[in-house]
Amino acid sequence: MASTRKRDRHGSSVASKSPSPSPPTSVAATTLVLHQKRRRSVEVWNNFNFSSLPSPEWTLGPIIGRGQYGKVYRASCDDTRGAAKIIDTTEDDFHWLNDIRNEVCIMQRYSHPNVVKLYGAYKKALELKDHYQIWVVMELCDGGSLGSLAKTVTSRGDRLSENVIGYIIHEVLQGLVYLHENGVIHRDVKGSNILSTLSGNVKLADFGVAAKTMSHEVARRRTSIVGTPHFMAPEVIYCEYQDDLDYDSRCDTWSLGITALQLGDGVPPLTGKTNFEARRMIPRMKAPEFNKPDPWSSPLKGFVARCLTKDMDRRPFCKDLIEDAFVKIENLSQAKAELADLLGDLVSDPKSADTPDGSVRRKQPLNKAPSLPLVPEETTPSGDTVNAMFY
């Protein structure tokens, strides 16, 4: 049989006995492929049942964010403060909430100082028959997302210091190495999924599309197309077009490199391009770099270049980056204090108002939290009236 040519995950042309699949020619076709592969890709946890969740014992405060599935509220239980993600659903819809199930089960199983802590998952019945809310309550990261922090700083003509960027990357690496060693690939590392507390602690969040492999092998392969396109590694995108390709935890290394560029520039590469355009461009273009490289040091640019090695097999694992010169911060406590001071300045600045991810930097008090569907407008989902408060 005559051989044809097809493209491997690195973009090289290789021999094959069967023709390679053609990339979808429209946004609709690509969306369908992504949806189908995403449905197959999410980890199914047999020991998790939404119907068996307990009733919530948390009191809700104002809205502090909005996500794909619902709103996020400040929450408290006795002396514990948290953030409650609340999703409206029905008994018939439970099986569609694979991302929520995936996130809860991973966070229940794994705990690390650089991973957002899960306080619990709950189910609350609503007055309308067969309608429910799922509450996912996590620790409160009152410093907001570090993607929003970088965007706010650069929008004022300033930039995060390399000391702060190095500290953030160092902390994220610690969390990623822990996850990879336990067979978990995050698959959506980006600035908006890296949260902080006002004291400067850095936490990885959002495990809805994380993959739990069947073993603890760091190099366990995956084939599913999930993540945020602008942060997606080339080999992940190639899996969209060829079923015989796969990838491993080094896709998180690539996303971390894009995140480093985001922290420096305020926005990720290809900002302004649609998701479809980004997926088409990333495998074909050279590895991105800072918009203005000159101000940045050689260690930082070298770290980013290592992360953004397009050939996955030559790209380092996160555990290999721990000893990189850029992230070997001499005084971590000093860098942490610098981040905390920056967050504190933004909190006290009335110009730093609303942020898309619901960070603490909103200065104005809210008179009430907008309600979720099926809930009276003047109350929170728990039925408690919201008092005006600063946060």
Catalytic residues: 188
Give the SS3 label for residue 235. Answer: helix
Q: What is the DSSP letter of 143?
A: T
With 0-12 / 13-18 / 19 or more C-beta atoms within 10 angstroms meaning exposed / middle / buried, residue 171 is buried
61 φ, ψ (degrees, to nearest 5): -115, -150
User: Position 136: which residue type?
Assistant: V
With 0-12 / 13-18 / 19 or more C-beta atoms within 10 angstroms meaning exposed / middle / buried, residue 231 is buried
Buried b (16+ CB within 10 A) or exposed e, 325-356: ebbebeeeeebbebbbebbeebbeeeebeebe
328 φ, ψ (degrees, to nearest 5): -85, 75
Q: Work out the number of other CB atoms within 10 angstroms of the CB of residue 322.
A: 15
Residue recorded with tokens 């659903």: 89
Chain mean position to CA 324: 23
Please say whether the dihedral angle defined by the alpha carbons of residues 263, 269, 271 and 275, taken in this order, is positive or negative: negative
Looking at beta carbons, which pairs linking 277-282 to residues 24 or more positions away fall under 8 Å?
A: 278/229, 278/230, 278/232, 279/30, 279/229, 279/232, 279/237, 279/240, 280/23, 282/229, 282/232, 282/234, 282/237
User: Position 376: which residue type?
Assistant: P
Residue 170 token pair: 């160092």
Give the SS3 label for residue 77. Answer: strand
